Amino acid sequence: MSSLQERLRRLRASTGTQPLAPQMSARSGLTAVSPEGRGQEPDRDPQDQHSRDPGQPVDKAAETELLGPDATAAKARPLSLAERIRRLSTTGPKRVYERPTAEALAESLGAEIIAPGLLQLERHQPLTQRHGRFQPVRGLACHLAETNLTRLALPAPDGWTFIDTETSGLAGGTGTWAFVIGIGRIQGSEIRLRQYLLLELDAEPAMMACIQPELAAANPLISYNGKTFDLPLLETRLRLNGLPGLPESIPHLDLLYPIRRAFATRWTNCRLASCEHHLLGFERADDLPGAEAPAAWLDWLREGNPARLGAVLRHNRLDLLSLAALLPALSQVQREPLSYGADLSALARQLERSGQAREAERLLDAASRDLEPAAALVLARLKRQRGAWSEAVSIWERLAAEGVINALVELAKYQEHVNGDAAQALAYADQLPESDEHRHRQTRLRRRLARSDAAGLGRRPP
C-alpha cells in the first residue's frame, strides 16, 4: 500500500494538481466533476512541496511507472467512439434486477400463464364506449360500399377481427420477432381484446399455435399496414415454427389504404398516430411510443426488468381500439368529406373505379361550391361521360377563368369535336402555354380553318 501511495504522490508532484472531489451521478453511475470545479485551476497549497507551476513539464517516467506504458500511449491519442462507448458501458455499478417469476409478472399485469414463457391478457370493452370522437358500435351499421373502404362485402359484425403486433424491429424476415400480438374481436355488444406476451423465445411455438386458429376464423381481418408488415411477418413466424400459414381466403381490410386515399395530400403522414390526432380526436396520455417497445422487451430478456412491459401492452390495446374506431370514422368522412378535410377528388376516383360513377358525381355535386380545381375537373369529366355537356362546359369555363390549363384544353376539345366551332376552339388553344402538344393543336386548328375558308364553308353545326 505504501508503495502505491508513494507512486501517487510522485504523479501528483509531476502534474502539480490535486484531484477534485468526485460526485456520483445517480443516473449513469459515473463519477463527475462538480459544476463549480469545471474549467477552474485546482487549489494548491503554497507550502505544498509537490506544488508546481502550470508550465512545469510532466514527469513522464513517473506517469509510465504508475499507469503502465500502454495506458500512457493511449492517453497520447484520442479515443475512438467505440472505445468511449465501451468505457462508459463498463464504468460504474451495474443495475441488477431480481427477475420476477412468471407467476408474479402475470399477476402484476393482470394476465395468466397459458404456456411456459407465454402470457395471455384479456379485456372486454363495451362498443358504446367512446374512443376519441367515435364509438366502435357505430361501425356496425356502416356498409363498405357506402364508406368506400374496399370492394369486400362485410358480413355480420360478430367475427370482425382486428390485429396489431409489437415487434423487435421493422425489417421483417426471420430475424424479426413478434413479442406482443394483440387481437380484437367483436362479440355481441363488446369488443374482446386478447393479447399474447412472449417472455421466452422458446415459447414462440406455443404463441403461434394460439393465434393461428384465431386469425384463420377472422371475417374480415382488419389491420393498419398489415398487408405489408404484420401479416407477412406472422406468416413467416408461423412457418418457421412448422405451422400452416393463414388461409388465402381470409378477407383482409387494411385501413391504411382508405386513409391514404382520403388524406395523403392533406396530412404530413398517414401513421396511426396521425389518424388519432386528426380524425379520431384521441390523444394518448403517458403512452409508451411504439419505437420504444423493442427496448422494453429486451430489458426483460437481458436483465429481467419488467418495468415497461405493462406500458407496451397498453400501447397495443390502444392501437386495437383505434382500429375499431376508424371504421365509423371513415364512414363519416365519406358522408361529410369537407368537414374532415378529405381529398374529394381521390375519394371520387375510387368510387368511379369501383363502378359507382353516379355516387362519385353525387359526392362532388354536394360540395361543388367548395371544390378545388382537381376535384372540379373530376366532376366535369363524370358529367361529360354521362352526356351532360352543358354542366361540364359550365365547370370548365369557370376553371378556365381561373387559369386552369386542363380546363382550357377540355374547352378546346369540346369546341372542336362536339360543337364544331374551330374558331372558338383555336381561341381557347391560343391561351395554352407553349408545348409541342399545344402547338400541334393550334397548327391543326389553323389548317382546318384555312381549308374551311377556302371551301367557303362556315361553321360546322354540332
Residue 407 above 90 pLDDT? yes
Looking at the chain, the whole-number percentage of residues with pLDDT higher than 90 is: 55
The enclosing H or E element of 99 equals none
- The residue type at 224: Y
- Report residue 88's pLDDT band, with 50, 70 and 90 as the boundaries: low
Highest mean pLDDT among 29-33, 170-174, 213-217: 213-217
Residues counted in the chain: 462
Mention every residue, 6+ apart, whose C-beta is less than 8 A from residue 168. 176, 177, 179, 294, 297, 298
| Residue 107 neighbours by CB distance under 10 Å | 13
| Strands 112-115 and 31-33, sheet pairing | unpaired
DSSP 230: I
Mention every residue, 6+ apart, whose C-beta is less than 8 A from residue 149. 253, 255, 258, 327, 330
Find where cell 382550357 sits. Answer: 408
| Strands 178-187 and 190-198, sheet pairing | antiparallel
Residue 313: exposed, middle, or buried by beta-carbon count in 10 A (0-12, 13-18, 19+)? buried
Please give the order of strands across the beta sheet that includes 221-223: 112-115, 118-126, 190-198, 178-187, 161-167, 221-223, 252-254
Contact 306, 179 (CB under 8 A): no
> Model's pTM, two decimal places?
0.72
What is the pLDDT at residue 143?
45
What is the pLDDT at residue 39?
43
Contact 428, 412 (CB under 8 A): yes
Mention every residue, 6+ apart, whose C-beta is less than 8 A from residue 327. 136, 139, 142, 147, 149, 222, 255
- Report residue 312's pLDDT band, with 50, 70 and 90 as the boundaries: very high
Q: 264: alpha, beta or left, given left = phi > 0 and alpha = psi -120 to 50?
A: alpha
Average pLDDT, the chain: 82
What is the pLDDT at residue 451?
86
| Strands 178-187 and 161-167, sheet pairing | antiparallel
The 10s digit of each residue's pLDDT in 95-138 is 666 889 999 999 999 999 999 999 999 999 999 999 999 988 65
Q: Is the Cα dihedral 373, 375, 378, 379 positive or negative?
A: negative
Cα distance between residue 388 and residue 151, in whole Å: 28
The 10s digit of each residue's pLDDT in 252-309 is 999 999 999 999 999 999 999 999 999 999 999 889 998 999 999 999 999 999 999 9
